[in-house]
Structure 1
Amino acid sequence: MKITHYLCGIGLLTGTLLSCSSDPPKKDHITVEQDESENSLTTNFDGKIFSIPSPILTMLLLKKVNPVFQSELLNPSSKVDRYQTEHKRALLLGVYGADLGYASIYKDKKNILDYLVVVEKLTNSLGLDASFDQRFIDRYQKNTNNSDSMLYIVSDAFKNADLFLKNGQRKSVSALILAGGWTESMHFATALAEKKPQNQELLERIGDQKQTLATLIALLEENNKASSNDELIRYYKELSVIFQAIKVNYEYNQPETDAEKKTTTLKHTVSFEINTETLKAITEKITAIRQHIIG
């Protein structure tokens, strides 16, 4: 199973291998590709490139493993008005965005409508209504019979919001939205893994989050406005310690180089082994982090 698995770049990287720096790429550069690059989202903070596995793939995997919609996994939409600070609203926009994605993949129209309202309310309060405007809602509602399309529409809207925040020097808000969405997606994955601990594909998806977690910690530390992320960073670092127990198996395969196109395609594979005790510890810590966020 090939899994995208590195921090400082994804997909097409210019300047040999973009080493998490703001150095401009050389004119005569080599482009490096990695299999399944479409499986990740790339974000740029102050010239540093960070890679986050796409939540879309996690959602698709959840339905594949368990075709039954579980509404109890969602954070109730009725709680939205209790989140009053910008910090909380940013985190919860990530959480509710993941909930909307979860409802979308199962085509649960009642929850889709409820969470659309919630996402719209939070984006308006954060000044992101241009990304989640009436065009977004119309486009989304026209595709309610196509779960894949709905997921991509939501993903596009969040990408636009992310760009808007960074251009407006509100990177701390962007980092919090990302953290909230990742935590909620992990909540879905670990809750399902508890019921289906032998599903290797699901365990691989959880194991693949080890590097993502390091990325999130780095983003939150670099954008820690008035130390407001201190407690969340502490929780994530505790989770990172647990992740160290995951065994990573790396298999090197010869890269393929195209001299004419100046591209190199990486072909190595990465797999993960998670024992029962480690999975239980990860699940419990994710539950605690989520409760800290939504409480």
Structure 2
Amino acid sequence: MLNQQPDIASNASGTDNFTKWPWHSIYMQSVTDRYDDQSKLTPALGFHDMKTKEIIGRTHLTGTTHHPWGLPNKTYERILGSENRHNNDLNKYLNAVGFQDKWLTEIIDILEEKGVANETLFVMAGDHGLSLPNDGGITPYDNPHVGSFAVPIVLAHPQLPALEISAPVLSNQIGQSLIRPLIQEQDGIQDWQFTVMNTGGSWLAVRSAAKPQFRLVIPLVNDVEWRFSDLSTDPQELEPVVRFDLADLAVVIRKRYGEKVLHWLYDAAYVSNWWIEQNWKRYGFHPKDY
């Protein structure tokens, strides 16, 4: 996308002005790319230069912010007070984040030391959030809490101005949201955003960019619940509406939030049903076979 700008040279040797040079994208992550055949997916997304755990000896990568948040020499500072499982997990997590921040600082310092900081756009995004501060969850696995869906992102460049992008987007819309406003609703059609939860066969989370405060989690199997929350009044999802049946959920939504929110609920359920069926067709999945 960045190389499609009209003032970008076709190759770096075409000009001495580095701001006109084409970008070279590198996909980096501190863990393996062998899980779920990611090594096949990443090139299909356009990244052909990849640095992962398999070559970690030749890269500056760390996976320490992943559970169990171990640090070198198993030492960490006690940031929170009393000892209990929740506080201990938070202590380990906060120490791991601090360790990673120092690690990233080293990388940026190296870029500056080598004189290439102005030529390098440093982008780091998480693959998921973590609800540890909210409900003690140490993994997003089978955890529908909104904290599992808030993905952190960092963009670093010496000449990059301070920016705040408030548009509700998915991870694959990050680049678009930085260069142009996204259309959240047009001709009565909302920009519906879907997130397949881990594990992918149990829940589907959906929201609308036009009304991002509403959030619906839809069960794909019979033994988990429907879940609705209004993040404008309950940003930490302390009291989500949870029911095993859409009809039962609708009764509570009508009583608590009114007809407009109820209509949003039905629209979200309807478009999600379409999205699920389309993906079943795409991947040749037939529920009756299982």
TM-score by length of 1: 0.27
With CA pairs under 8 Å and 6+ residues apart, which has the higher RCO, 1 or 2? Answer: 1
TM-score (norm 2): 0.27
**Which protein shows a greater Rg?**
2
Looking at secondary structure, tell me which structure has more helix per residue. 1
